Structure 1
Amino acid sequence: MSTLAELSLTDWWPLRGLLVAALVVIGVLVCRVRRRPARVMLSLLVVVLAVMNVLSWINASYGYYLTIGQAIGLPGRDASSLEALNRSRMPASGVLISITIPGHTAHFSARPAEVYLPPAWFARPRPKLPVLLLLHGTPGSPTDWTDGGGAAATLDAWAGAHAGIAPIVVMPDINGRFDADTECVNGPAGQAETYLTQDVPDFVTSRFFTQPPGSHWAIAGLSEGGSCAVMLVLRHPARFAVFADYSGLAGPRSGDGNALGDTVPALFGNSLAEFRAHEPGWLLTHQRYPQVNGWFEVGDQDGDPLAAARQLEPLATAAGVSGRLTIVPGGGHSFFLWRKAFADSLPWIASRLGLAPDATSRPR
């Protein structure tokens, strides 16, 4: 079973190649078989295989599921109750749990969050560890970072090199539904900003014995989550000190690009003042952020996010942010880039959260 679970879903061979071969063979049989029932059955099989090939191509393009095991949950980590975890000994690797974070203040209906607890969390006496919020995009869900993003493996590798110490990483729901798009603001889709900056930190600090919000808290994210990370840290610098933006746009947008379109009426009730108060470019030119650290990483083939990073990074530097920009040659808007971006930036994030000396990795 473990061998089957490790078979690649992104390489052409064996699975994707076999799907294509099967489609061709059955297509030929459809043309040769004369009995109507058999032709109907084979035709239906052709349709199923064609759909599977399309889905396989999409998955390979975005790098969401790397193996069969990821796609069907094998091997998986069982969600554990906090009571059971509290009785655990220090494990060799981190533990991933799924837990509902209620929106008591925001009244935001969120899907369960994923939480990574590093081995050091199980030590006695338990250390107060820093926290990283890791945000998904849209369409998406909190499990995107543990499935397509490979976050647990990246964190385990870093913790393994640092005596089991790593940030507690919380992957909360930012949209409420797979296809929703709050842009992490308090708008028509829900009070997402209040949820992420009040409800989530309050819950995490009370349940996981963490450092309090402030200089030991960070936000990172991919795509929409990257834009959210920049915006939320700039709007709440007393609660968060570090952001990492992987392929985000220039700010909250109702569309897929940097152009405003109907952003102001759709997200901010036609209030230009509210839009400006959430626009990173405006914030960076009107306020100073000497206590904030920021990392931008984007592929050189990713048009609007690349333009956004090139716009925001110098503005951030001018505003006092200790920032870095990494442009990945050949990189697009996919989990191939986001896995790399998280691995690239994690040592730097950890150093800014006080867990290790300054990272040696440098932007390209």
Structure 2
Amino acid sequence: MGLTSQTLLVLAISLSAAAFGTAVWLWPYLSRTTWRSMLGRIGMLLGIQLACLAALALAINNYFGFYGSWGDLLGTDEDGTAIIADGTAAVSHTNAVHILDHQQLPAPDGTAATTGGSLETVEIRGAKSHLSTRAYVYLPPQYGQPQYAQVKFPLIIALTGYPGTTENLITRLKYPELADAAIARKEMPPTILVLMRPTLAPPRDTECIDIPGGPQVESFFTQDLPTALGTAYRVGDSAAYRGVIGDSTGGYCALKFAMRHPGTYTAAVALSGYYRAEVDATTGDLFGGSKQLQRENDLMWRLRNLPPPAVSVLVTTSRHGESNYQATQDFLAAAEPPMKTASIILPSGGHNFATWSRELPQALPWLGRQLQAPRVNPVLAEAAPDAATS
């Protein structure tokens, strides 16, 4: 029975109700002052509390999508482990990206489009980092149209928070639907989206860092991922074509990738992101005792001590409900040209999907407009005007 299945949640709620009813029924028999009755009352109360906590934890996990499976929760998932024995071997097209499933999406509501994009389930393998992960690749409707047959498309990497599940980017934040609608309304150019989570070595929260002696997550996202996607899809081969967006931990990673690797990503969006990596029980030792590595992953330190990168970033927060409000104001104040900044600041909103769903309809098109748009063959476009406007 899956961790996120409704059957398990209903069962847990039923057990909680049964435990409560049993306690009410047996309480008169346990009201004596004997040690057996006292132990019975203690056991009954503990049982009710454990049953209620289990049901509550399952409900919260199902809503926020912290863990997608028992293996994810227990840290036994193999997704993200090292899979390439020889790090010197070149990764070919078939080894870099495995396409596991392909599905056609319906046309977006409220637009004149005749069809939506498509969604592929893939496994991506990294040669340098020796890491792998599953992801979803959204292909815009134009990807299969004749006038775009030789065209390179812009690419957006969309990241969850930690621990997060990739499926939340589809079911809760609805990235494919938003992209379909924005492209159909010409609010952003036709763009390929790769939906994934930053947790490549579960259950560890690596904060997207190349950990000394540990997982090389930053190398995966800034070197392996663009290379692998370039072998499987028609994506642009320069930073001008690439952007990255994420929420919470994914937002921190997005900003860091653009600021530390402007030659890989030209723009980033952080939805409720933060600005430095925190070390806690989920991260372990991230820096191997290196104060310099710690500083380099502190985005505020970078703004104050290093030349600003020539990238565009959008950050979001809320005046009430978000803990990063002041830190975001400090980040915006510290950024200087050639770095360009933009922001979405809500009057109120918590650190949750509801808030990010309010911000994404503006944030995603903004990011798409920062990237190099596809350059269509004008002869083919003129020959197929209906397809070009779909």
Query: Are residues 282 and 33 of structure 1, via their aligned partners in 2, closer, same or farther at CA, if it must alter by over 3 Å?
Result: closer
2:263 to 228, 235, 238: 238
Q: Which residue number corresponds to residue 191 of structure 2?
A: 167
> Contact 1:276/1:283 (CA < 8 Å) preserved in 2?
yes
Aligned CA distance change for structure 1 residues 298 and 185 (closer, same or farther; 3 Å): same
Counterpart position of 2:87: none
Cα distance per residue 1:264-319 (max 9 Å; x no partner) = x9211111222222221122223344631110012334554223312211212x24
Partner of 1:282 in structure 2? 301
Contact 1:226 1:248 in 2 (8 A): yes
Contact 1:284–1:319, Cα closer than 8 Å, also in 2:
no
Q: CA RMSD in A?
A: 3.9
The alpha carbon displacement at 1:207 in A equals 0.8
Supply the distance in 1 between the matched residues of 2:59 and 2:180 (Cα, whole angstroms). 28
Call closer, same or farther: CA 1:177–1:192 in 2, change over 3 Å. Answer: closer
Pairing 1:296–2:315 present: yes
1:154 maps onto 2:172 in alignment: no
- Any idea what SS the aligned residue of 1:193 has? helix
* Matching residue of 1:350: 368
Please give the alpha-carbon distance, in whole angstroms, between the structure 1 residues aligned to 2:118 and 2:357: 19
Letter paired with 1:99: V
Paired with 1:95 and 1:159, the residues of 2 have a C-alpha distance of: 13
Which of 160, 165, 170 is the aligned partner of 1:136?
160
Alignment map for 1:67-78 (pairs within 5 Å): none
The answer for unaligned runs of 5 or more in structure 1 is 1-8, 10-15, 35-43, 66-79, 257-261, 357-364
What secondary structure sits across from 2:171 in the alignment?
coil
C-alpha contact (below 8 Å) 2:116/2:180 kept by paired residues = yes
Query: TM-score, length-normalised on structure 2?
Result: 0.67
| Alpha-carbon distance in 2 for matches of 1:138, 1:21 | 30
Q: Which residue of 2 aligns with 1:41?
A: none
Rg (Cα) greater in structure: 2
CA separation in 2, counterparts of 1:85 and 1:147?
Answer: 15
Q: Is the 8 A contact 2:142 2:190 kept in 1?
A: yes
Aligned to 2:59: 56
Residues 19 and 51, structure 2, Cα contact 8 Å, conserved in 1:
no
Matching of residues 90-101 of structure 1 within 5 Å = 92-101=115-124
Q: How does 1:21-36 map to 2 (within 5 A)?
A: 31=24
Contact 1:138/1:180 (<8 A) preserved: no
1:23 Cα deviation from its structure 2 partner: 7.2
Within a 5 Å distance, the mapping from 1:144-223 to structure 2 comes to: 144-162=168-186, 165-187=189-211, 189-223=214-248
Is structure 2 residue 285 aligned with structure 1 residue 266?
yes
Secondary structure of the equivalent of 1:215? Answer: helix
1:115/1:171 contact within 8 Å kept: yes
1:324 to 325, 342, 357: 342
Instruction: Percent identity, please.
Output: 23
Q: Do the aligned residues in 1 keep the contact of 2:100 with 2:122 (CA within 8 Å)?
A: no
State yes or no: 1:249 paired with 2:274: yes
Give the CA deviation at 1:85.
8.4
Once the two structures are TM-superposed, the CA of residue 144 in structure 1 deviates from its matched residue by 2.8
The 3-state SS of whatever aligns with 1:281 is helix
Q: Is the 8 A contact 1:292 1:321 kept in 2?
A: yes
Distance 1:24 1:336, change over 3 A: same
Deviation for aligned residue 1:179: 2.8
Residue equivalent to 1:360: none
Whole-angstrom CA distance in 1 between matches of 2:101 and 2:164:
29
The one-character-per-residue Cα deviations of 1:343-362 (angstroms, maximum 9, x if unpaired) are: 22112111111449xxxxxx
**Alpha-carbon distance change, 237 to 118 in structure 1, aligned in 2, over 3 angstroms:** same
Instruction: Number of aligned residue pairs: give it.
Output: 308
Q: Is the 8 A contact 1:120 1:165 kept in 2?
A: no
> Does the 8 A contact of 1:223 with 1:248 survive in 2?
yes
- In structure 2, the residue corresponding to 1:186 is in which secondary structure? coil
Shift of 1:20: 8.6
TM-superposed deviation, 1:141 = 3.2
SS at match of 1:344: helix
What SS does structure 1 have at the residue aligned with 2:119?
strand
- Correspondence for 2:250: 225
Residue identity opposite 2:289 in structure 1: N
Residue aligning to 2:34: none
Counterpart in the other structure of 2:331: 312
CA distance in 2, matches of 1:53, 1:290: 45
Highest RCO, 1 vs 2 (Cα 8 Å, sep ≥ 6): 2
Shift of 1:128: 1.3
Alpha-carbon separation, structure 2, partners of 1:343 and 1:210: 23
How far apart, CA to CA, are the structure 2 residues paired with 1:255 and 1:45? 31
Q: Give the one of 353, 371, 374 matched to 1:335.
A: 353
What is the DSSP-based 3-state SS (H/G/I as helix, E as strand, rest coil) of the residue aligned with 2:133? Answer: coil
Instruction: Indicate which of 129, 132, 136 corresponds to 1:114.
Output: 136
